[in-house]
Amino acid sequence: MLKKVSFLMFAMLSLLLILTGCGKDKEVSTAGKEEESDGKTLRIVTDANYAPFEFLEGDKVVGFDIDFITAVAKEAGYEPKVESIGWDPIFVEIESKRADVAVSAITVNDERKQTYDFSVPYFLSTNKILVPEKSDIKSGNELKGKVIAVQTGTTGQAAVEKLLGKNNKNIKKFENNNLAIQELLKGGAAAVVADNTVVEEYVKNNPDQKLKVVEDSKAFKEEFYGLMFPKGSELKPEFDKAVNAVYENGKYAEIYKEWFGTDPDLETLKAQQ
């Protein structure tokens, strides 16, 4: 009888030990996990009206930029949560630090650098002119005297203002680039000025709309895209490192090839750092 009782006590005691032991382990590991995913989810903002960089497929934001930021964020140890909020709001949300990173084919320039921080460059771009196939516009200069549609607050707008004059009424500004293209299609504008990859992709995907792209490397300079952060963000050095890591480990080339069918010119990008 005594044997039985002490055995029972021994069994209960060990069970208790196992249970509390287990309980503790579990607590530690879930707390650790929760902390990890909570602390490391980043709010990443974009304007998903700029294929092939960012656009909506149903209600999903997809594009080169999205694959790129996903690879870079993972490399840096973060969980990216991408939200399409529109172009102008991107700048508001980053300046007020309500968002952590913006990825939106954003050109790095001196004016923006005063208010925001940027990663090392990740894409080479230039503005080009989108016109109807029958248009006789052959250069930036020939945009003068014509109605030109642009997306508000882009380098395309700035480039057209430089050619036509800042407050020229012939410059029609739209909240996003797709609206500018719609204006061209319905005859409300003679041309759209926007990033080369975007207008070239548009012509390729919409042969029935009979449009073409005109380039003018004198009127439109080389630009580089960067990831945009709030001024002083601690993420910048971490993301610069991660961008270089995806350059080196082949991930950037893989994503680039998936979207553009060719190999990227990594040397040109790296030479900008």
Classify each residue of 99-108 as buried b or exposed e, where b means 16 or more C-beta atoms within 10 Å of its C-beta. bbbbbbbbbb
Piece of 12-20, 44-52, 138-146, 214-222 that binds ligand ARG (CB under 6 A): 44-52
Binding map of ligand ARG across residues 184-223, x = CB under 6 A, - = no contact = -----------x----------------------------
Among 99, 46, 110, 44, smallest CA distance to 74 is for: 44
CB of 229: closest distance to ligand ARG in angstroms? 15
- 54 scored as a contact of ligand ARG (CB under 6 A): yes
If binding means CB under 6 A, how many residues of this protein chain bind ligand ARG? Answer: 15
| DSSP code string of 56-109 | EETTEEESHHHHHHHHHHHHTT-EEEEEE--HHHHHHHHHTTSSSEE-SSPBP-
Looking up tokens 């380098």 gives 155
How many alpha carbons fall within 13 Å on the CB side of residue 81? 9
Q: Which of residues 100-129 bind ligand ARG (CB under 6 A)?
A: 104-107, 125
Q: Which is nearer to ligand ARG, 78 or 87 (CB)?
A: 87
Figure out which of the listed residues 84, 119, 154, 197 binds ligand ARG, where binding follows CB under 6 A: 154
Piece of 21-29, 49-57, 130-138, 166-174 that binds ligand ARG (CB under 6 A): 49-57
CB of 242: closest distance to ligand ARG in angstroms? 21
How many Å apart are CA 253 and CA 196, to the nearest integer?
20
- Is-contact 91 117, C-beta < 8 A? no
Q: Which is nearer to ligand ARG, 150 or 211 (CB)?
A: 150
Residues that bind ligand ARG (CB under 6 A): 47, 49-50, 54, 87, 104-107, 125, 151, 154-155, 177, 195
